A and B are shown apart, each in its own frame.
Chain A
Amino acid sequence: MGIRLAPILIFLIAIDLEARPISYSGASTLMAFSDTMKNSVYYHYSPSYKYSLGVELVRDKVQKKEYAFFRFTSLLNRKNTKRSQRNLYFQSGISFNESRNRFYGIHGDWETRRWYTGFNYKKIDTGAVIYTDQFYQFGVAPYVGEYGDLHSWVMIKTRKNFLESDWSTYPVLKFFKGNALIELGYSKQSHWDAHLMYRF
C-alpha cells in the first residue's frame, strides 16, 4: 500500500466510527476526528429521523489538502421491538474539489442493550481510483447501564478493502454519557485514534 492510499484508509476508518448517522427530528450532531494523518469535523442535521444532511471538513495532513464532503444519509428500513432495533441506511457523500471524491453505500445494524452487530458496504470514487470497502462489527456492553449512566461498549471490527488483499481486524471502544460520545479505535495503520460526538 503506497503512502498515497494511507490517508484514504484512515479517512474511511474515521467515518465508519460514526455511531449514529441520523439523529432525531430537528437535531444536530457535531463530530470531530483527529489522528496523525488528518483532522476532520462533520456536522449533520436531521430534518426527520429518516434522513440527515451534513458537511464534513477534512484537512488531509499527508497530501496537505483541505476539502469538504457534502453528505446525505437516509434510513431505508427500521424495525423496532421491545428489546432491539434494526436499521438499514443508505449513505452518500460528494466533494466539490478538483478530484470530485464521492462515495455511496449501505450500512446496517442490529442492537439490543447488550449486543451490537453491524455491517457496511461502500463504493468509493476518489477521482483516480474506484474501489469498495466493507466491514463487519460486533460489540458487547460489559454492563447494562441505566438512563443517564456512563455506557461502555467493547467492539471488534473486521474490514476488507479492495485495495488490500486481506482483512484487518481491530478493537473499538465506545463510551457515551448524556449527549456526548467518544469512540476509540486501534488499527495498525493509524494506531489509536479518537472520534468525538456531541448531539444537540
Chain B
Amino acid sequence: MMKNFLLLLLLIIHALAQANGNEIDNIHLDHAHDRLVDGKKLEVDLKRFERFIEGLAYSQIAIVSVKGMVCDFCARGIEKTFKRDSDVTKVDVDLSNGKVLIAFKRNKTIDFDDIKEKILANGQNATDLKVLII
C-alpha cells in the first residue's frame, strides 16, 4: 500500500516538474467555467470559449495572451498559421481579451516558444500561455 502511494506521489511530482519545465500549466476548468482550479481568472469571453470547445473532446486547449492584436484583419494570419499544423484541430481569436484559442490533439507536446514564434511572424507578441485539458 505504502509502495503504491510513493509510486503515485513520484509520478505526480514528475508530471508537475515536466509541466513547469515547459512553462505550461496543465489544469482543468472548474464547473463555473470562468476560473481555473487554482483560482486564477480565465479572462476569455466565456460564450465564445464555450462555443469553441463544443464538439471537442480529448484535446488540449491553449489559451494564448497576445499583445498588439487590435483588429480582426491583423489577426487573420494567426488563424491561418496555426491551421497549417496537423496537430491543431480548431483556432479562434478573442479580440476583446487579447487571446488566441488553439485546440491541439491531446498527445501533442505544446511548445510555448513555437507558439511565440508563430505569433511573432504575424507581427504580434505572445506573452502568456495556459493549457486546459478537456
Is B61 in contact with chain A by the CB < 8 A criterion?
Answer: no
Task: Chain A residues near B68: list those with CB within 8 A.
Answer: 78-81, 84-85
A112 to B67, CA, bound (A): 11
Chain B: interface size category: 20 to 34
A147 and B70 in contact, given A23-B77, A27-B77, A199-B76 (Cβ under 8 angstroms): no
Chain B residues with CB under 8 Å of chain A are 45, 48, 65, 67-68, 70-78, 80-81, 92-96, 98, 120-125
Task: Please determine whether B77 and A82 come into contact, CB atoms closer than 8 angstroms.
Answer: no
Interface, chain A (partner B; CB < 8 A)? 19-20, 22-27, 48-49, 75, 78-85, 111-113, 144-149, 151, 176-179, 181, 199
Point out the residue from B96, B120, B123, B124 that lies within 8 Å of A146, measured CB to CB: B96
When distances are taken between beta carbons in the complex, the residues of chain A under 8 Å from B124 are: 80, 85
9 contacts between A and B (CB under 8 A): A24-B74, A24-B81, A24-B123, A25-B122, A82-B98, A83-B98, A178-B72, A178-B76, A199-B73
Q: Which residue of A lies closest to B77 (CB)?
A: A24
B73 adjacent to A20 (CB under 8 Å) = yes
Which residues on the B side are within 8 Å of A146 (C-beta)?
45, 48, 95-96
Question: How far apart sit A180 and B81, CA to CA, in the bound complex (Å)?
Answer: 18
Which are the 9 A-B pairs with shortest beta-carbon distances? Answer: A80-B68, A24-B77, A49-B123, A25-B121, A80-B67, A147-B93, A24-B122, A85-B68, A85-B70
Complex Cα distance A178/B75, Å? Answer: 10
Q: Which of B73, B93, B95, B122 contacts A176 (CB 8 A)?
A: B73
From A24, A75, A113, contact of B121 by CB (8 A): A24
Q: Give Cα A181 to B67, complex, Å.
A: 23
- For the complex, what is the distance from the CA of A157 to the CA of B65, rounded to whole Å? 33
Residues of B within 8 A of A78 (CB): 68, 123
**Bound Cα distance A97, B118 (Å):** 40
Q: How far is the CB of A116 from chain B (nearest CB, A)?
A: 9
Kindly list chain A residues whose C-beta atoms are within 8 Å of the C-beta of B73: 19-20, 151, 176, 179, 181, 199
Apart from A24-B74, A82-B67, A113-B71, what 15 extra A-B contacts exist at CB < 8 Å? Answer: A26-B121, A27-B80, A49-B120, A49-B122, A79-B68, A80-B124, A82-B65, A83-B98, A85-B70, A111-B71, A147-B72, A148-B72, A149-B72, A179-B73, A179-B76
Q: How far apart are the CA atoms of A26 and B80 in the complex, in Å?
A: 11
Find chain A residues with CB under 8 A from B98 CB.
82-83
Most buried by B among A48, A80, A179: A80
Chain B residues contacting A179 (CB-CB under 8 Å) are 73, 76
Residues of A within 8 A of B74 (CB): 20, 24, 85
